[in-house]
Amino acid sequence: MIPLSYYLVVSAVLFAIGTAGVFLRRNLITILLSIEIMLNAVNLSFVAFGRQFGSLDGQIIVFFVMTVAAAEAAVGLAIVIGLFRHRESLNPDAFASLKW
C-alpha cells in the first residue's frame, strides 16, 4: 500500500520540472510543453486526493482540466504559428518589442 504522500511528492516534483521548463527554455513550443507537464502534475494530485477520500470528484475535475488543457494547447499553438509566420523565430526574446 502506498501512502498518499508519495503521490503528492511525485506531483510536486513534476510541477517543479514544468515550472523550471517555462522559465529556463527559450523555445515557445517547449514552454507550452512545460505548461502541459504542470497541468498533468496537478491532475495526478487531484486523482490521488479523490481516491484517498473515496469520492469521484477528483476524477471529474481531472476530466475538466484535460478538456481545458486541450483547448488551451490548440489556441496557444495557433498563436505560436501566427508569431512564427511574422518573425521566423520561436524564441520569446524575438518578440520583446511591442511593435508588430
Partner 1 sequence: MPETLIFWGLSGMAILASALVIGQRNPMYSVLMLIASFGALAGLYIQLDAPFVAVAQIIIYAGAIMVLFLFVVMLLNAPQEDAAEWDRAHPLRQPGIMRFGALLALLLVIQLTWALLRVNGVDVPVGTQGDPEALSSVRTLGRILFTDYVFAFEATSILILVAMVGAVVLARREGDR
Q: What are the grid coordinates assigned to 9, written together? A: 511528492
Q: Supply the minimum distance, in Å, between the C-beta of residue 99 and partner 1.
A: 17
Question: Which of positions 66-85 make contact with partner 1 (CB under 8 A)?
Answer: 66-75, 77-82, 84-85
DSSP line for 52-75? HTT-THHHHHHHHHHHHHHHHHHH
Nearer to partner 1, 96 or 98 (CB): 96
Question: Which of positions 7-66 make contact with partner 1 (CB under 8 A)?
Answer: 7-21, 23-27, 29-30, 32-34, 36-37, 40, 43-45, 47-48, 50-60, 62-64, 66
- When asked if residue 99 is in the footprint of partner 1 (CB under 8 A), the reply is no
78/81 Cα distance (integer angstroms): 5
Q: Supply the minimum distance, in Å, between the C-beta of residue 61 and partner 1.
A: 9
Q: Supply the minimum distance, in Å, between the C-beta of residue 37 and partner 1.
A: 5
Q: Are 3 and 69 in contact (CB under 8 A)?
A: no
Q: Supply the minimum distance, in Å, between the C-beta of residue 27 and partner 1.
A: 5
17/20 Cα distance (integer angstroms): 5
Q: In which residue are the cell numbers 513550443 written?
A: 29
